[in-house]
Structure 1
Amino acid sequence: MEHIFNFSAGPAVLPVEVLQQARDEMLDWHGSGMSVLEMSHRGKEFMSIAAKVEADLRELIGIPGNYKVLFLSGGASSQFAMVPMNLLRGKKSASYVNTGEWSKKAIKEAKRYCIVNIAASSEDANFTCVPPQDTWNIDPDAAYLHYTPNETIGGVEFNWIPDLTHLNAEVPLVADISSTFMSRPLDITRFGLIYAGAQKNFGPAGLTVVIVREDLLGTTLAGTPTMFDYKIHADNDSMYNTPPTYPMYIAGLVLEWLKKKGGLAAMEQINIAKAKLLYDMLDTTDFYHCPVARSDRSRMNVPFTLKDSALDDAFLKQAKSRGLIQLKGHRSVGGMRASIYNAMPLEGVAVLVEFMKEFASNHA
């Protein structure tokens, strides 16, 4: 099979070693005579898989015992509703930081359930930066503060965690951490709740992880569907209904791969090196342009444009002929985007950089 480098923003590239192991275990998992695809989620075989996934996740991140780990369906987008349904806890409003398309989607959904206070926004800067926290206006009576640490479409990433300790009343910090989850160490104790779709750094589409502090559970909005109640899932160890079993299994293989790589601190250094290689090239030419403020550039999603958009199709076609695929920017912003998640090797970024240099030279 021809070797390619897949720069898709999600579903994204998975480690080759993980795919090979899944292939080898497809028909018979560990001598059980069954594929994971056909196991009962309550059988001892899958229960052992689920227990190991949670144990490895807790170990890699350092999740304290007073946090519940939930393995859910519905994608991160379902959490746009589940968060206010579960975390308002009798309050009428919540604060949100608006840094791009995914923030806007979360805000739009939350408005169905509560008053949304926009604590900060970078919309006036065309979502090319992170608003400094000293400009934020956080309602001290808000049920929580929600932000998106990394905007996959705009390529804007927080390189810091918001500090809410100055507020008179405790306001839990909530984050849609889908596209940076497992790409760097994380102090989970700074958050009340985080959620992430798995299909970036952690596994395949179909699995959503929620990590929530226990004291935030148990008070939902009237009329909240049972399936949208975090406490129901927590009390049933994510087995209230059939969970996304095969995505959980693949995520477990990814966690084992991460442990072999040296954990999240080691993975972060690899991701820093990949991002630096690509951004350094972008900053040394006027043929390409990255619109994001340098201090807020994403390590995971690198958007860029060509000096002449008429060359876009030729760029994509020639890149594909070199085995470099899924580089087209999101339909809402155009241009290009290279997503360089955990499983993208440094070699892939190096090949992309060399192609970009060559293409620029040929079209100078």
Structure 2
Amino acid sequence: MSNRAYNFNAGPAALPLEVLQQAQEQFVEFNGAGMSIMEMSHRSAAYEQVHNEAQSLLRELFGIPDNYHVLFLQGGASMQFAMLPMNLLAPSRAAAYAISGNWANKAVKEARLIGETIVAASSEGDGYRRTPAITDIVIPDDAAYVHVTSNETIEGTQYQAFPDTGNVPLAADMSSDILSRPVDVSKFGVIYAGAQKNLGPSGVTLVVIRNDLAAASPKSLPSMLRYETHVKNNSLYNTPPSFAIYMVNLMLKWIRSNGGVGELAKVNQAKTALIYDTIDNSGGFYTGFALPESRSRMNVTFRIRNEELEKLFIKESEQQGFIGLKGHRDVGGLRASVYNAVPMASCQALAQFMIDFQRRNG
């Protein structure tokens, strides 16, 4: 399709054209069922096959050990900001949060409503232009869990490695870089992620949780807020976002057909290198927001020397089919979100546009 936009939206974000086309082919009638998957019961064999297959593909592609559950929930990562401490933060303990930017701050704000929290480390002093150093994360021995935000979409920073938290469970919001690179899942107690950046459309949230942590859900919580409820019902306690899960299934098959997570990580690095190199070789016309050691491979944040040029950049880029390059209102500037489904050709086109824009306005 020649009229496809160069989609750099931060989320909901780009999906592979072939995935969209396959969904289009099956939209009215799914596998001879005489109806769309959106119309059929979530208790039907046809839907449960899609549901279970998506869980199996996640285990395969993300290397999820057998002693972890894979859940499909709703409410986005924002729901998990509260659901995590509700389930894991005991009254006599504290949760330790590493503060790396906007989303980490939102997570700890919700946790404070539930129980005691401490700041284990923070990069606020550097304007959140980096992630907290692993060596700076201080973990109390009796902490209920340690929480990190693996990638900050607004500031454009990303952990390049994760802390070893010993016997204290490590929880991570991976909404914006899930399945974009290999991760040792066994180092984590809980991983959660909204699907709408790397896994599919909005509406479904992935939670990967170690068995013992799920089993410890307090019985005093409402059923829908207990991880144990969803484990026992295979994420089918209530009506799931069935079409979104179907799309996740297609997206996972696309990841597998493109070489898996390891191969995608190489492509993602090459895609963002094109843009970072353009920034670094611009002689100061463009400046990156994130410090080089913390640069995200998902969200490239940068500035131009004055806001008038930034406004002109947005205007001209939109005229040429580039979508989503305006930075978040809390930070300003410019941002290119380069998730799994953003093709190399889009990044090449953006790099060339940036070079041309500088030539005309430098």
Q: Which residue of 1 aligns with 2:87?
A: 86
User: Aligned partners of 1:217 and 1:113: how far apart in 2?
Assistant: 18
- Aligned counterpart in structure 2 of residue 245 of structure 1, from 213, 231, 242: 242
Q: Which residue of 1 aligns with 2:295?
A: 297
User: Aligned partners of 2:218 and 2:101: how far apart in 1?
Assistant: 27
User: Aligned partners of 1:258 and 1:220: how far apart in 2?
Assistant: 33
- Aligned counterpart in structure 1 of residue 356 of structure 2, from 355, 358, 362: 358
Q: What displacement does 1:70 show?
A: 0.5
Q: What displacement does 1:222 show?
A: 6.5
Q: Which residue of 2 aligns with 1:143?
A: 144
Q: What displacement does 1:308 show?
A: 1.4
Q: What displacement does 1:275 show?
A: 1.0
- State which drifts further: 90-99 or 332-341: 90-99
The answer to whether 1:332 aligns with 2:333 is no
TM normalised by structure 1 equals: 0.97
Q: What displacement does 1:14 show?
A: 0.3
Q: Which residue of 2 aligns with 1:54?
A: 55
Determine if contact 1:15/1:343 at 8 Å carries over to the other structure.
yes
Q: What displacement does 1:185 show?
A: 1.1
Give the match's secondary structure for 2:303. Answer: strand
User: Aligned partners of 1:72 and 1:130: how far apart in 2?
Assistant: 28
Structure 1 segment 248-287 matched on structure 2, within 5 A: 248-285=245-282, 286-287=284-285
User: Aligned partners of 1:278 and 1:121: how far apart in 2?
Assistant: 28
Give the match's secondary structure for 1:276. Answer: helix
Determine if contact 1:89/1:220 at 8 Å carries over to the other structure.
no
Q: What displacement does 1:315 show?
A: 0.8
Counterpart residue type for residue 145 of structure 1: V
User: Aligned partners of 2:92 and 2:271: how far apart in 1?
Assistant: 43
Q: Please give the per-residue CA displacement for 1:299-354, whole angstroms capped at 9, x wherever unaligned.
A: 00001111111122211111011111110000111111000000001110000010
Q: What displacement does 1:218 show?
A: 3.0
Gaps of 5+ in 1: none
Q: Which residue of 2 aligns with 1:24?
A: 25
Q: What displacement does 1:133 show?
A: 1.9
Q: Which residue of 2 aligns with 1:344?
A: 342
Determine if contact 2:91/2:115 at 8 Å carries over to the other structure.
no
Q: What displacement does 1:139 show?
A: 1.3
Q: Which residue of 2 aligns with 1:113?
A: 114
Counterpart residue type for residue 266 of structure 1: E
Q: Which residue of 2 aligns with 1:190?
A: 187
Give the match's secondary structure for 2:97. Answer: strand
Q: What displacement does 1:219 show?
A: 3.1
User: Aligned partners of 1:119 and 1:232: how far apart in 2?
Assistant: 30
User: Aligned partners of 2:176 and 2:88: how far apart in 1?
Assistant: 23
Give the match's secondary structure for 1:97. Answer: strand
User: Aligned partners of 1:86 and 1:288: how far apart in 2?
Assistant: 45
Q: Which residue of 2 aligns with 1:42?
A: 43
Instruction: Tell me how large the CA RMSD over aligned residues is.
Output: 1.1
Structure 1 segment 114-193 matched on structure 2, within 5 A: 114-165=115-166, 170-193=167-190
Q: Which residue of 2 aligns with 1:315?
A: 313
User: Aligned partners of 1:282 and 1:333: how far apart in 2?
Assistant: 18
Determine if contact 1:88/1:221 at 8 Å carries over to the other structure.
no
User: Aligned partners of 2:63 and 2:217: how far apart in 1?
Assistant: 28
Among all aligned residue pairs of Structure 1 and Structure 2, give the percentage whose two residues are the same amino acid.
Answer: 46
The answer to whether 1:5 aligns with 2:3 is no
Counterpart residue type for residue 209 of structure 1: L
Q: Which residue of 2 aligns with 1:233?
A: 230
Q: What displacement does 1:3 show?
A: 2.5
Gaps of 5+ in 2: none
Determine if contact 2:71/2:207 at 8 Å carries over to the other structure.
yes
User: Aligned partners of 2:309 and 2:12: how far apart in 1?
Assistant: 26
Give the match's secondary structure for 2:275. Answer: helix
Q: What displacement does 1:89 show?
A: 4.1
Counterpart residue type for residue 307 of structure 1: R
Q: Please give the per-residue CA displacement for 1:253-291, whole angstroms capped at 9, x wherever unaligned.
A: 000000100100000000010011110110011111112
User: Aligned partners of 2:229 and 2:336: how far apart in 1?
Assistant: 39
Count of matched residue positions in the alignment of Structure 1 and Structure 2: 360
User: Aligned partners of 2:67 and 2:176: how far apart in 1?
Assistant: 25
Q: What displacement does 1:298 show?
A: 0.1
User: Aligned partners of 2:214 and 2:296: how far apart in 1?
Assistant: 32
Determine if contact 1:86/1:218 at 8 Å carries over to the other structure.
no
Counterpart residue type for residue 194 of structure 1: I
Counterpart residue type for residue 174 of structure 2: I
